[in-house]
Structure 1
Amino acid sequence: MILACHNLNKSFGERIIVKDGSFHIEDREKVAFVGVNGAGKSTILKMIIGEEPTDSGNIVLTKGKTIGYLAQQQNLISGNSIYEELKTAKADIIKLEEQIRTIEHELKGLSGDELQTRLNTYNRLMSEFESKNGYAYESEIIGVLKGLGFQENEFSKEASTLSGGQKTRVSLGKLLLTKPDILLLDEPTNHLDLNSISWLETYLLNYPGAVFIVSHDRFFLNRVVTKVVEIDQGHLRMYNGNYKDYAEKKRQLRDAQMKEYLNQQREIKHQEAVIEKLKSFNREKSIKRAESREKMLDKIERIDKPMDSTQEMHFELNPSCISGNDVLTVEHLTKRFETQTLFSDISFEIKRGEHVAIIGDNGTGKTTLLKILNQVLDADEGAFTLGSKVKIGYYDQEHHVLHDNKTIFEEISDDYPSLTNTQIRNTLAAFQFTADDVFKLIRDLSGGEKGRVSLAKLMLSEANFLILDEPTNHLDITSKEILEQALNDYTGTILYVSHDRYFINQTASRILELVNQTFVNYIGNYDYYLEKKEELTAKYAPVSPETSVNSKVTNPNTFSESQEPFGQKLSWQEQKEAQARERKRKNDLKKTEERIAVLETRNQEIDELMTQEDIYSNSVKCQELAIEKSSNEEELETLYEQWADLAEE
């Protein structure tokens, strides 16, 4: 065991963070720390590292073990470049290297015992240098920086000038390079793109120490952790398994608690009815029996009704009208910032009812595209057209559509003046803003609270085309699940940017990946994207000298003649149909193989039956089996041909 927390207690005024909470983490164990926003996860991490005092209880770190902590917010003011900042994590190795070089210069002028003493020191330092993998520390730094999404031309940027998300990535890289015995990570995936998250998953899976992670990324937790610590209404509980295992065990436990509660309530009501009936007889004997039952009832230890961790959001997204079938048509769109081309000559269409996710690395232009479609930014070239009766609802991850100096109530009432005070309060209550909360200023809200205000405005908009930029950022898992359900029930059209792979899997029917300055289209969810990514990227968005030099790329919907035989150009619709045909072919091939296996197994069974005396001595039964086998053989001949045709396609 590397870390143990015993009987922790912490309160802020009347608000209880944790009450008699205990958990432990074993060496090399990967553990998730989950709970709704505001439950106290970050506070407990700060208690573990000593930034926040406990009211009572013990936190024990095994003697000689080191601990590293990544907070959600970082403040890098050293003046170092990105590369130099990460280099400080290897200060001990760099110091060793300097000592070794100094001794190497000294050795030339030494002799005798003095030479031998310095040689001994030199050999000791070299051994330590090699054991710490000193020769590879620079390549290790570069590997971590690239893994976290930094390009080589960014290494020299001053860290203090970076955005909040970039600073967090720098701090994460620095922490990983120090390799403490236990890592405490508070929302490490918040500012990472899909490739960086995948890299971090692999890094943590192979990390030689223990990891304690606060995260709302279900896909990430399912891959990395083997234990979950939950904080729920001040209580800490441990569950073995990944997030999926935890969620299932949690559901089973809640169901069992609810069943136990309901059974007890039925028994209590039954006893109360019996008592009331006995008293109604108005006989001394009956009254004594009623009194005896009352005493027994009073002694029952009442089971509390299982409560949710927090008041959940509850909302529906309903379009005010049905749009035309062609919702959005983008033609030859290009956007540049100074010398950087984000995307070039892109074209695509979105039809009514589609749920389309846009994915891609950080900095490729996903948010910029959404801003162009919402007329916040202008494109450099090309145009887009909205279809008939299309009404846009826009969710901005930076919440620029909110007004810092307004209260939450004013934010809604000013945009929707026809709503009564009661209607506004009811709407805000559905998003967990009650009582005086509605008079909080927008600028004083947390990221999660701003997200809920934006979702409330989105619901009231009654739009039939939702454009959403990172809608799950800062939402806890419960809120994400509610949003997923609302989007899946929504009858309009959705276009969104997200790095949440679980969310994409649950809500997307199509994915557009922005890669190499163009779009690659996937007709399916995230699992389908993973299956086809390598194949379709190589086909429709290859890296070429022309792409890197001229920033000119092929349009994913009218692919270049060199990519298609005989100069054919595939439209988006044709590509969609081609992918659908391929899925059908694979499905048919699988069904054919399964049917062949069934018939071949049955024929083997018939052959075995025919060797049994009670069968081969029964001419009627023998004839029946012979006819069945003959029929199977005919069907198999057809299936073999069918399989060969499908396999060759």
Structure 2
Amino acid sequence: MILSCQNIEKAFLEKQVLKNCSFHIEDYEKAAIVGLNGAGKTTLLRIIVGQLEPDGGVVAFAKDKTFGYLAQDSAVNSDNTIYEELLSVKQHLLDLENQIRQAELSMKQLSGDALEDLMQKYADLTHRFEMENGYAYKSELTGVLKGLGFTEDEFQKPVSTLSGGQKTRVALGKLLLQKPDLIILDEPTNHLDMSSISWLETYLLNYKGSVLIVSHDRYFLDRIASKIIEIDNTKVTVFSGNYSDYAAKKEQLRQAQRNAYLNQQAEIKHQEEVITKLKSFNREKSIKRAESREKMLAKIEVLDKPTEVRSDMHLQLTPRIESGNDVLTVEHLAKTFDRNTLFSDLSFALKRGEHVAIIGDNGTGKTTILKLINELVEPDAGTIRLGSKVQIGYYDQEHHVLHPDKTLFEEISDEYPSLNNTEIRNTLAAFLFTGDDVFKRIKDLSGGERGRVSLAKLMLSESNFLILDEPTNHLDIASKEILEDALNSYNGTVLYVSHDRYFINRTAHRILELSGGTLHQYLGNYDYYLEKKSQQGASTESAAFGTLAASAASAASTESSASKLSWQAQKEKEAQRRKKENALKKCEEQIASLEERDKQIDLEMSDSKIATDVAALQKLSREKDEIADKLMELMEEWEQLSE
């Protein structure tokens, strides 16, 4: 066991945050702390690392064990370059390397016993250097920097010129290179893009030590954690398994607690009714029996009402009108900032009802695409066309759609003047703003609170095309799940940018990966995207191996290699190629035919004669659904044939 926490307690003023919390971390164990925002997760970490004194309880580390801690706002402030700052972690190896070099120089000038003693010292130094991976520390350092998203041309950037997020990544890199026995991380994925998060997952999974994480990234927790430590209503409960295992067990436990609570409440109510009835008889015997029941009732340990999973937060997204089938068409889009070309020929389209996620590394231009569609930024070239009756609802990650000097009440009332005071208060209450909260100014809210206000405005917009930029940032896990459920039941069109892979997995029908200024399409959720990428990687590797093998064979005997492909084999290969070309052409014709029929149905449904014929409308609606399903199948088939 590397860490033991026994009966930890902490209160701020009159608010109890942690009460009688106990758990432990074993050697080599990967554990995660979860809970709602404000539950006390960061407070618990600060108590563990000694930054905060507990009101009660004991934190004990195993003897001679080390830990490293990365807080949410950890950042490195230094005049060093990025490379020099990480290299400072390896100063003991640099000193050791210097001692080895000095010993090598001294050997030339010594003889006899002095030389023999120096040779022994040299052997000890080189052994220590080798045991501490001294011969590979430079490649290790470079690997960590690249894994965290720094390119080689950024290695020499001064740390003082970096953004807050980049400084946090430098702090994370230093911590990983220190290799403590226990790594403690508070929201480590906040400033990382998808590829860096994936690298960090692999690094931590293979880490020869223990890991304790606080994170809202459920996909990350699923891959890393083998133990979940939940803080709920000041108490700690430990679950074995990853996040998905915990979520399933938690739901079972919550249901059992709820049933026990409801059963006990029903029994208490029944006993109270019996007591009242016995007393109403007003006889000595019945009063004694009533008093006896009262004593029994007083001894019952009343169960606390189980914490509901944000059942008081309500999010229902309902379009006011239905858009046309073609929602968005983007053709040959180009954008450059300060000589940095993000993309020069970007084209894609969205149909009604699609939920599409744009993914890619930081700085590739994902948010810029959303801003271009919303006309917040002008394109350098290309066209963006919205379909008929399309109404956009926009959620931006910086919440620029909110006015900092307005109160919450003014933010809603000014945007929707038709709402009365009660309706505005009810809307804000649905997003957990009650009482005097509605008079707080936007600029005084936390990131999570601003996110909830933006979601409230989105709900009221009744838009049929939602454009969301990192909608899960600053939301706790329960709030994310409420948003996911709302989007999954939303029958409008959704286009969003997100790094939250769990969120993408639950809500996306199609993924557009922005890489190298080009969009690559994947018809499915995030797991499907990973599967396809894996297959493409295997195909590329296989193709590369085949090329090498062919080159080697060609070098050995060019004539022999050429003769192996007989006339018959060539003929069969050509026939297979024509067969695939015909299948691809047939697939494209079917897609075109179905899309044309889909447009005809839209015209027929708008015909005044059919508009009043319920049976005809139902028949056309069923046909549209069948066309949508068939188109999805054909598009997947087309993708496979195209490859």
TM-score (normalizing by structure 2): 0.83
1:329-351 C-alpha deviation (Å, 9 max, x unpaired): 00011122233322221111101
Are 2:440 and 1:440 equivalent residues in the alignment?
yes
What are the ranges of 5 or more consecutive residues in structure 2 without an aligned counterpart? 541-579, 596-627
Are 2:169 and 1:169 equivalent residues in the alignment?
yes
The Cα of 1:188 is off from its aligned counterpart by 0.9
The Cα of 1:25 is off from its aligned counterpart by 0.3
Contact 2:403-2:411 at 8 Å conserved across structures: yes
Task: State the partner residue of 1:523.
Answer: 523
The Cα of 1:93 is off from its aligned counterpart by 1.3
1:524-550 C-alpha deviation (Å, 9 max, x unpaired): 11121112124568999xxxxxxxxxx
Contact 1:36-1:310 at 8 Å conserved across structures: no
Question: Which letter maps to 2:335?
Answer: K
Contact 2:357-2:498 at 8 Å conserved across structures: yes
Contact 2:310-2:479 at 8 Å conserved across structures: no
Alpha-carbon separation, structure 2, partners of 1:37 and 1:266: 32
Give 3-state SS (helix, strand or coil) of 1:138's partner. helix
1:502-535 C-alpha deviation (Å, 9 max, x unpaired): 1111111111111222111111111211121245
Contact 2:76-2:167 at 8 Å conserved across structures: yes
1:538-592 C-alpha deviation (Å, 9 max, x unpaired): 999xxxxxxxxxxxxxxxxxxxxxxx96998979967997972486899xxxxxx
The Cα of 1:437 is off from its aligned counterpart by 2.5
1:579-619 C-alpha deviation (Å, 9 max, x unpaired): 72486899xxxxxxxxxxxxxxxxxxxxxxxxxxxxxxxxx
1:37-79 C-alpha deviation (Å, 9 max, x unpaired): 1111111111111112222221111111111011111332211
Alpha-carbon separation, structure 2, partners of 1:291 and 1:480: 50
1:307-339 C-alpha deviation (Å, 9 max, x unpaired): 237674212112222111111000011122233
Are 2:170 and 1:189 equivalent residues in the alignment?
no
Contact 2:511-2:522 at 8 Å conserved across structures: yes
Alignment of 1:56-455 (within 5 A): 56-308=56-308, 312-455=312-455
Alpha-carbon separation, structure 1, partners of 2:424 and 2:14: 29
Question: Which letter maps to 1:223?
Answer: R
Alpha-carbon separation, structure 2, partners of 1:579 and 1:536: 21
- Cα–Cα, structure 1 residues 79 and 444, in superposed 2: closer, same or farther, change >3 Å? farther
Alpha-carbon separation, structure 1, partners of 2:253 and 2:36: 18
Are 2:35 and 1:35 equivalent residues in the alignment?
yes
Task: State the partner residue of 2:609.
Answer: none
Question: Which letter maps to 1:580?
Answer: E
The Cα of 1:225 is off from its aligned counterpart by 0.8
1:347-367 C-alpha deviation (Å, 9 max, x unpaired): 111011111011111221111
Give 3-state SS (helix, strand or coil) of 1:150's partner. coil
The Cα of 1:105 is off from its aligned counterpart by 2.2
Task: State the partner residue of 1:580.
Answer: 633
Alignment of 1:460-479 (within 5 A): 460-479=460-479
Alpha-carbon separation, structure 1, partners of 2:631 and 2:466: 28
Question: Which letter maps to 1:502?
Answer: Y
TM-score (normalizing by structure 1): 0.82
Alpha-carbon separation, structure 2, partners of 1:237 and 1:145: 36
The Cα of 1:191 is off from its aligned counterpart by 1.9
Alpha-carbon separation, structure 1, partners of 2:413 and 2:468: 22
Alignment of 1:613-624 (within 5 A): none
Alpha-carbon separation, structure 1, partners of 2:275 and 2:409: 51
Task: State the partner residue of 1:561.
Answer: none
Contact 2:523-2:636 at 8 Å conserved across structures: no
Alpha-carbon separation, structure 1, partners of 2:263 and 2:453: 40
The Cα of 1:17 is off from its aligned counterpart by 1.6
The Cα of 1:445 is off from its aligned counterpart by 2.3
Alpha-carbon separation, structure 2, partners of 1:251 and 1:431: 23
- Cα–Cα, structure 1 residues 430 and 67, in superposed 2: closer, same or farther, change >3 Å? same
The Cα of 1:21 is off from its aligned counterpart by 1.1
What are the ranges of 5 or more consecutive residues in structure 1 without an aligned counterpart? 541-563, 587-645
Give 3-state SS (helix, strand or coil) of 1:456's partner. helix
Task: State the partner residue of 2:51.
Answer: 51
- Cα–Cα, structure 1 residues 349 and 538, in superposed 2: closer, same or farther, change >3 Å? farther
Alpha-carbon separation, structure 1, partners of 2:448 and 2:591: 38
The Cα of 1:229 is off from its aligned counterpart by 0.6
Contact 1:233-1:309 at 8 Å conserved across structures: no
- Cα–Cα, structure 1 residues 311 and 51, in superposed 2: closer, same or farther, change >3 Å? farther
Give 3-state SS (helix, strand or coil) of 1:301's partner. coil
The Cα of 1:400 is off from its aligned counterpart by 2.2
The Cα of 1:402 is off from its aligned counterpart by 2.3
- Cα–Cα, structure 1 residues 114 and 45, in superposed 2: closer, same or farther, change >3 Å? same
Alpha-carbon separation, structure 1, partners of 2:532 and 2:468: 25
Give 3-state SS (helix, strand or coil) of 1:99's partner. helix
Tell me the number of residue pairs that the alignment of Structure 1 and Structure 2 aligns.
566
Alpha-carbon separation, structure 2, partners of 1:463 and 1:176: 45
Question: Which letter maps to 2:306?
Answer: P
Once the two structures are overlaid, the 10-residue window that deviates more, 155-164 or 203-212, is 155-164
Alpha-carbon separation, structure 1, partners of 2:7 and 2:35: 19
Task: State the partner residue of 1:495.
Answer: 495
The Cα of 1:103 is off from its aligned counterpart by 2.2
Once the two structures are overlaid, the 10-residue window that deviates more, 491-500 or 428-437, is 428-437
- Cα–Cα, structure 1 residues 312 and 190, in superposed 2: closer, same or farther, change >3 Å? farther
The Cα of 1:161 is off from its aligned counterpart by 1.9
The Cα of 1:192 is off from its aligned counterpart by 1.7
Alpha-carbon separation, structure 2, partners of 1:94 and 1:439: 58
Question: Which letter maps to 1:533?
Answer: K
